[in-house]
Amino acid sequence: MIICWLKPRRTLKDSLLLRQQQFHAQLRQQKSPLLTMPGELRNEIYRHVLLDTGRTSAVQYDSTGFTRPALLNACKMIRFEALKMFYLENKFETTVNKYNPSTMLRWYTHFDRLNIDAVEDCTVDDTQPSWANLVEWLRLYHACLVMNAPKCPDILCGLFRMSTTREIIIGGMVSTVEIMRKEPWKKVHKVLALWRAAFARQDDRWTADGS
């Protein structure tokens, strides 16, 4: 008679626990001198290096990412301690070219995986119109997959005619999406399409792509 002892399959919870234990074991092996300092002092150093309180501009990112501070590559323990501070206490900004929201979408997906609500903003380079990209951006905004919408002009700017016709049209489209947030996208899309003729009167490049 052959007796076989079957090892029970490791559950997902067990696997995650094991990985966590292995990770913390690796952290304990790190020998960075910075880790010998009190936690409060380390946090002050992290803030001085990562936040650069004298800087007035945001951390710029693009489709390739952003320049990562060297401190975050010092060792796993320092990265573990400092990464959330870097993301949560800095402001990040990107330039949206041709109204293409793909870089923002990757950025928000990255933060979602990290379970971090970072402060993020965008500047729109509006020199190259694209109806298809603008509509896709508004679709993502309608679905709450990106939090930034194309800039909506302030009402006072509109009254004093400091906003362009294009900005006012886009502001109207953003307002439409927000009002119709609970409606299915197909219905919202049909309403947004009515704005396209107004764009075409300003610049016929808005008719070159999309539907």
Residue-wise pLDDT for 126-165, tens only, equals 788 899 999 999 999 999 998 888 875 454 455 445 567 8
Same domain, 100 and 185: yes
Same domain, 149 and 166: yes
CA distance 29 to 118: 30
Same domain, 173 and 187: yes
Q: What are the residues whose beta carbons fall under 8 Å from the beta carbon of 176, sequence distance 6 or more?
A: 188, 191, 192, 195
CA distance 190 to 119: 32
Same domain, 109 and 199: yes
Query: The tokens of 171 are what?
Result: 């502001």
Nearest to 121 by CA among 202, 59, 38: 59
16 located within any domain? no
Same domain, 42 and 70: yes
Same domain, 132 and 202: yes
CA distance 72 to 74: 6
Query: The tokens of 136 are what?
Result: 């896709």
Same domain, 67 and 156: no
User: What pTM value is reported for the model?
Assistant: 0.70
pLDDT tier, 6 (very low <50, low <70, confident <90, very high otherwise):
very low
Q: Is the pLDDT of residue 7 over 80?
A: no
Total domains, the chain: 2
Residues of the domain holding 155: 95-114+127-206
140 located within any domain? yes
Eight-state DSSP code of residue 92: E
- Look up tokens 């709450």; give the residue: 144
pLDDT tier, 28 (very low <50, low <70, confident <90, very high otherwise):
low
159 located within any domain? yes
60 located within any domain? yes
63 located within any domain? yes
Which run of H or E residues covers position 165?
Answer: helix 165-179
Same domain, 78 and 131: no
Same domain, 157 and 101: yes
Same domain, 52 and 149: no
19 located within any domain? no
Q: What is the number of other CB atoms lying within 10 angstroms of the CB of residue 179? A: 11
Q: Is the pLDDT of residue 63 over 90?
A: no
Residue-wise pLDDT for 99-117, tens only, equals 999 988 988 888 888 777 7
Which run of H or E residues covers position 198?
Answer: helix 196-202
Same domain, 153 and 167: yes
Same domain, 167 and 193: yes
What SS3 class is residue 93?
A: strand
pLDDT tier, 17 (very low <50, low <70, confident <90, very high otherwise):
low
Q: What are the residues whose beta carbons fall under 8 Å from the beta carbon of 14, sequence distance 6 or more?
A: none
Residue 9 confidence (pLDDT): 46
27 located within any domain? no
179 located within any domain? yes
